[in-house]
Amino acid sequence: MGDAPEPLRLVQDLVNTLDVGSGQDGLEAFLAEGVEVERVRAFRELLRLVCMDHAGMNISSEALAIFEDCLAAAPLVLTLGGDAGAELVPAPGLPPTELLFAQVAAAVAVSGKDWLRLKACADQSCRWLYYDRSPAGRGRWCSMAVCGSRAKMRAYRARGNVSAVSSAEYAQ
């Protein structure tokens, strides 16, 4: 688990400007001048929802439609030549907010199936974006040592409480 490869790193860094656990939000420091902070904040949370969907936490079709509308408002163009060959880039002349949306759209477009490995942590108090490097692509937590361990401990305790109740009921 960990850092996403380029160009998905932009998406990961954008979403991770909010520490869900502490509520600390570094979005404004992350953004270029002239970007509409509230629109980007809403877009960031849509990105988080989509990455939660990648991790198996289904999102509503309405949220997905809103996300797709944001990307549709951010046109891309195909450039040819140079060392990169053909490349998808934001259309020239976009306002700052749409430019950021287009940069995200380009990152998603060129990443192919790697995009599906960008996931939000299953821990509700975390939701940190991570790149799932597990062989099967079935990772659930940003860190097994922290969030994964907490989840497994909660599940263990829940099973213990259930069996204690069942044993007490059985004894009666």
* Neighbour-count burial for 46-63, b at 16+ CB within 10 Å, e otherwise: bbbbbbbbbbeeebeeee
**pLDDT score, position 165:** 46
Outline where DSSP puts E strands in 45-135: 76-79, 87-90, 118-120, 129-131
pLDDT band at 148 (very low <50, low <70, confident <90, very high): low
Q: Where is pLDDT greater, at 166 or 98? A: 98
Class of domain 9-171: mainly alpha
Asked whether the predicted pLDDT for residue 48 surpasses 80, the reply is yes
Locate 105 and state its tokens. 């759209």
**pLDDT score, position 145:** 62
* Extents of the domains making up the chain: 9-171
